[in-house]
Amino acid sequence: MADAPRLSPDEVRKVARLARLDLPDDQLPRAAARLDAVLGYVERLAALDLGGVEPLTHVGGEVNRLDDDVPGPTLPPETVARLAPESFGPFIRVPKVLGDGGGA
């Protein structure tokens, strides 16, 4: 039989709240067991001797290239105005994305 989880129901509720999860009481035992498994894995990792191991920042050998900003080909203003959903004179209307305008 497996050991009882090390986390109390209140601790599991707190973790769920911090993760912004709505965790019903009937799911507490399963969540406690899963969190306990994660903690056990972290303990196993903490027990490893990593002396002499270089920190790994990328799994591949590549690094970010930071090339100089060089202007490339651009569209003629008439084409941009024709493609825009709304334009007036040399201006085009774009959705507001900063402040209270929504956006990403």
What is the per-residue pLDDT across 12-58, written as a single tens digit (0 to 9) for each?
999 999 999 999 999 999 999 999 999 999 999 999 999 998 888 77
Residue 101 located in a structural domain: no
Question: Model's pTM, two decimal places?
Answer: 0.48
- Whether 79 is in a domain gets the answer no
pLDDT of residue 1: 42
Q: Supply the CATH number for residue 23's domain.
A: 1.10.20
Indicate if the pLDDT at residue 97 is higher than 90. Answer: no
Q: Is residue 102 over pLDDT 70?
A: no
Q: Give me the helix-helix angle, 9-18 and 28-46, nearest 10°.
A: 80
Q: Does residue 74 fall inside a structural domain? A: no
**Can you give the pLDDT at residue 5?**
60
**Which domain range does residue 21 map to?**
9-46
User: What DSSP line would sit under the chain, residue for residue?
Assistant: -PPPPSS-HHHHHHHHHHTT----GGGHHHHHHHHHHHHHHHHHHHTS--TTPPP-S-SSS-----PPP-------HHHHHHHSSSEETTEE-----STTS---
Question: How many domains, the chain?
Answer: 1
Is residue 2 pLDDT above 80, yes or no?
A: no
104 in any annotated domain: no
